[in-house]
Amino acid sequence: MGKRYLIFMKKAIYPGSFDPVTNGHLDIISRAAQLFDEVIVAVIRNPDKKTKFSLSKRKKMLKNCLLGLPNVKVNNFDGLLIDYARLREAKIIIRGLRAVSDFDYEFQMALTNRKMAPEIETIFLMTDYRYSYLSSSFVKQIARLGGDVSALVPGAVVKELRRI
């Protein structure tokens, strides 16, 4: 029997800095695309966070990686996620979990969002075990030190990391 998915028939937002996008992010996005009619990958513009790649470069890398998923769109936002979700008329926020250590922070954020916007649900998707250790920070550090990141990020991202 093949994979069967329950279709929620809703619009969902998957927010993050994606600095850079990793195979773990892509795993969450591709699985979310099977669950929802539309997935908006929302790249946050956070002036308090120092990123290696500009907002436009992060969006471009994501768009290039997601060409085969027609129900996935890439956009950006700043400010509160719940305000952006309301603006886009999305009722679901997707958050990826790698390990138990992620859950505590994500759980607090989900409860805070629910307090401010009870009409918006947060759904947690666990990444594939192959990516449970993977983070953008680790990828940047490995690349900066000359390590091979080709198994961690898409090819287009490898090229961009070699440029920084």
Residues belonging to the active site:
25, 49, 98, 136
CA distance 42 to 77: 6
**What is the DSSP track for 70-96?**
TTEEEEEE-S-HHHHHHHTT--EEEEE
User: Looking at the chain, which runs of residues are DSSP E strands?
Assistant: 11-16, 38-44, 72-77, 92-97, 121-126
Which tokens hold the place of 77? 């936002």
Cα separation of 135 and 139, whole Å? 6
Phi, psi of 50 (to 5 degrees): -80, 120
Other C-beta atoms lying within 10 Å of the C-beta of residue 63: 13
**Cβ partners under 8 Å of residue 16, min gap 6:** 25, 41, 42, 43, 44
